[in-house]
Amino acid sequence: MLSHLFKLIWNKKGAHSLLIIEIWASFMVLFGVLSLIVYNVRNYLQPVGFEYEHVWNLDLASNQDTLEVAAKLERALQRVKAYPEVESVSRMSSNTPFSANQMGNSVTYNKVEVGADFYSTDGELSKTLDLKMLKGRWYQESDRVSKFVPIVINKAMEDKLFLDEAAIGKVIKVDDKKSFKVVGVVDKFKSRGEFMSDEPAVFELLAKDDVWNANMLIKTKPGTDANFEAKLVKEIAVMLPGWGIEVSYLTESRKNRQNLTLVPVLIFLIVSGFLLTNVALGLFGILNLNISKRKNEIGLRRAMGATEGRVTTQFLGEIWVLASFSLLLGLIFALQFPMMNVFDLDSEVYIIAIFAAIVIIYLIVTLCAWFPSKQAARIHPALALHEE
């Protein structure tokens, strides 16, 4: 049966080569778009690992003021903390959640080097963002002993850097004057939002005299509104003349961040959707023409006792063989991506995308061939043979 179908297709290889190219090209487009979607959906399904609902980001800039900046920052922090509307507040480096800033660095332990996002924060962050501790605890100022700087890492970092060992208590040497000591492990921290993959992260205790990291995350009590915000900005501005002050809500930054991913994906989805509709319509037209041209053949088969179902299966089988051949061609290209680790994506993403693309292609060709072959099979043998 299968070899017979191959023979039928081979006999018309000229006309079929164009069809094969078309299905192959559709497969490649689908594979590309689906990889993008699978990658993002997989990331989206993992929680960000922190609470951002009532959290504000207060961004301070000392501008031309260079006198006692650290002390002024500390005073501002205490002032913010004193408001009854504020639940908790912590200082953080400028790579606050959902911001566009990134600070990457690599850490080496036992010859294993891992690149991670570095966040400088104080002892309050786990409270402000409700970070889920897996092991150990969040660092405090008292954890800083001589040259040991306490750090908290996330699960992804623990798995990558320490492999099978437990992370708590491990010391990572940075240089002669500074070493990190792990005091806790948090679950996930996807600071660039839902669509970021779960990457290694390191939280480092902010130095007491630090003047560079002038962001504050403020967790407000529910129901706090812009009136409090205006009051806060005004009072801080009086306290710190000449400083830049900007307040943004994490919920808003999150939305901006999401759109950065969603808009391109949506555009690709719409465009490829139209492309595939186009292909499906064309395929339908071509199959319709091709099958109606083979009326005599159908009539003969029906006269010899083939049932409607068997005729339909023949035509479906033909298009399936054709599609399989194009997909085989497409797989040669598509499999390069997971094998060569293109774009550093998890090979699972590509494999899922390939499978989904194959399923969708088979679905489209089956749908396009179903109606014409059904119609052809219904022809009465007498009528079909009569035409000859």
Smallest gap, in angstroms, from Cβ of residue 381 to another protein? 22
Q: Which of residues 2-31 bind another protein (CB under 8 A)?
A: 15, 18-19, 21-22, 25-26, 28-29
Among 132-140, 170-178, 199-207, 289-297, which window interacts with another protein (CB under 8 A)?
289-297
Residue 315's nearest CA partner among 380, 278, 368 is 368
286 sits near another protein (criterion: CB under 8 A): yes
What residue type is 146 in one-letter code?
S
Q: Is 46 left (phi over 0), alpha (psi -120 to 50) or beta?
A: beta
Q: Which is nearer to another protein, 126 or 220 (CB)?
A: 220
CA distances from 135 to 46, 140, 151, 182 (A): 20, 15, 13, 10
Closest to another protein by CB, 34 vs 205, is: 34
Q: Please identify, using beta-carbon distances, which residue of 46 and 106 lies nearer to another protein.
A: 106
Non-local (6+) Cβ contacts of 286 within 8 A are: 19
User: In angstroms, rounded to a whole number, what is the distance separating the alpha carbons of residues 298 and 292?
Assistant: 9
**Minimum distance from CB of 279 to another protein (Å)?**
6
Which ranges of the chain would DSSP assign to H, the alpha helix?
2-11, 13-45, 69-82, 125-128, 155-161, 226-239, 250-292, 295-303, 308-334, 336-340, 347-377, 381-387
Show contacts with another protein in window 227-256 (CB under 8 A). Answer: 227, 229-230, 233-234, 237-238, 241-248
Q: Can you tell me which of 271, 342, 359, 367 binds another protein, judged by CB under 8 A? A: 271
Euclidean distance between CA atoms 129 and 132, whole angstroms: 9
At 216, is the secondary structure helix, strand, or coil? strand
Cβ distance to another protein smaller for residue 205 or 291: 291
Candidates 7, 13, 64, 387; binder of another protein (CB under 8 A) is: 64
Nearer to another protein, 154 or 220 (CB): 220
Question: Does 142 engage in binding with another protein (CB under 8 A)?
Answer: no
Kindly compute the dihedral angle of the four CA atoms of residues 88, 94, 100, 104, in this order, to the nearest 10 degrees: -120
Contacting positions for another protein (CB under 8 A): 15, 18-19, 21-22, 25-26, 28-29, 59, 61, 63-64, 225-227, 229-230, 233-234, 237-238, 241-248, 271, 274-275, 277-279, 281-286, 289-290, 293
